[in-house]
Amino acid sequence: MTSACGDDFEFEPAERIARDLVIACPGAYLNSESARNECAFGIGRSATLFDYTDGLIRWGRLDTSEDVDFDPSSHTDLTKLGSLTVRRAYLSMFQFLGEGTIEKIDDGTIILRMPVKFRNAMSLGAYPEAFWWNANLWDAYQGTTEIVFVFLDERIVAIYLTGRDNARLTRDPGPLVTDWTWIDDDGITQPYAAQFSYIFSADNPYVAELEEIADGFDFAMRAADCTSCHVPSNPAGLRHVGLLNYPNQTLGLRERLVVVFETRSMPPGMPLEDHVNADLLERAIAYDIVADLAIAFEAP
Ligand code: HEC
């Protein structure tokens, strides 16, 4: 452990976040989707977690059992996600079992370690991306024992899944379905937890417009081949890949999408035709504006 000051370092925001998580997502409740939904709602109400997660968050696995550098820029294989997506759809996959520990690592870095248990018995559409396709990744989620929140200069910049309890590897999600997104027998687009209808509240007045803009924008980005690189397999080897598969993933990248079309920097070294880029820029700007309104509506 690289802790300079040992456990029990006092940092009020981390204490509040720990308390909010345990109240919203107690370990006493089972693996059920209704418990998860209550947890997602409760986390969404945490003003402290909201206040401390204003940028893109690096999310992924990191072995923190040995001395480790908590700065996400020292690690590859992390995903970039927006705050609302992380708070509602990702953290809520876990039950928070206790108030955890707070450690000061160095002058700029504080970590909060929370003991957790993954909800592995939900329907497959309840997971906000189809990571269960990959047995290693699924087992990493199932076996996770701890979530580590990293505060750099008092902002949460990364959230790592760590630890492994093999006794928790109790579910094999079974054979693969045909695609990352699928329509179930009731006509619902799955994974449902990846859709805006899950990320946003039912009474959010901006979601219908956002969905309409996003549909056209996603289609145009696929046509421009953006998803050949911005996918979990990360064929271009980005250090921290920003995914463009699902609505919940694109949401956090909205400002950067405007920038890449303004600067004509994507795909790298292969600028799009003028009219294609102009169309994407217009869509990106509309998406960014309406997404900001929709997200602001969710502020606790
Ligand atoms: C050939 C692979 C490839 C393709 C195709 C590609 N990208 Fe990228 N993208 C990258 C790489 C590599 C980076 C990182 C570049 C850097 O940091 O300079 C990146 C970075 C980005 C970023 C910035 C993310 C951030 O966090 O700053 C955005 C947004 C983005 N790409 C969007 C797109 C869009 C939209 C398209 C389709 C028009 C696209 N990309 C097509 C490889 C690709």
Within a domain: residue 73? Answer: yes
Ligand 1 mean position, distance from CA 91 (Å): 26
Q: What is the tens place of the pLDDT at every residue in 185-209?
A: 999 999 999 999 999 999 999 999 9
Same domain for 16 and 164, yes or no, is yes
Residue 1 lies in a domain: no
Pocket of ligand 1 contains residue 294 by CB under 6 Å:
no
Residue 181 lies in a domain: no
Residue nearest to atom 34 of ligand 1 (CA): 226
Q: What is the three-state SS of the chain?
A: CCCCCCCCCCCHHHHHHHHHHHHHCECCCCCCHHHHHHHHHHHHCCHHHHHHCCCCEEEEECCCCCCCCCCHHHCCCEEEECHHHHHHHHHHHEEECCCCEEEEEECCEEEEEEEEEECCCCCHHHCCCCHHHCHHHHHHHHHCCEEEEEEECCEEEEEEEECCCHHHCCCCCCCCCCCCCEECCCCCEECHHHCHHHHCCCCCCCHHHHHHHHHHHHHHHHHCCHHHCCCCCCCCCCCEEECCCCHHHHHHCHHHHHHHHHCCCCCCCCCCCHHHHHHHHHHHHHHHHHHHHHHHHCCC
In angstroms, what is the span from residue 227 Cα to ligand 1's centroid? Answer: 9
Domain housing 119: 12-168
Q: Is residue 122 in a domain? A: yes
Q: 117, 150, 168 — which closes off a domain?
A: 168
Domain contains 212: yes
160 lies in the same domain as 238 = no
d(CA 111, CA 105): 7
Measure the CA–CA gap between 62 and 204, rounded to whole angstroms.
35
**204 and 293 share one domain:** yes
95 C-alpha to ligand 1 centroid (Å): 34
Is the same domain home to 148 and 216?
A: no
In short, whether 243's Cβ falls inside 6 Å of ligand 1 is no
Q: What is the pLDDT at residue 1?
A: 32
Q: What is the best residue among 218, 219, 229 to mutate for testing ligand 1's pocket, by most ligand atoms within 8 Å of CB?
A: 229
Asked if 245 and 129 touch (Cβ cutoff 8 Å), the reply is yes
From the CA of 64, how far away is ligand 1's center (Å)? 29
CA-nearest residue for atom 25, ligand 1, is 256
Residue 26 lies in a domain: yes
Q: pLDDT tens per residue, the chain (300 residues)?
A: 333 444 567 899 999 999 999 999 998 767 789 999 999 999 999 999 999 998 899 999 998 877 889 999 988 889 999 999 999 999 999 999 998 999 999 989 999 999 999 999 999 999 999 888 888 899 999 999 999 999 999 999 999 999 999 999 999 887 666 678 889 999 999 999 999 999 999 999 999 999 999 999 999 999 999 989 998 778 888 888 888 889 999 999 999 999 999 999 999 988 899 999 999 999 999 999 999 999 999 999
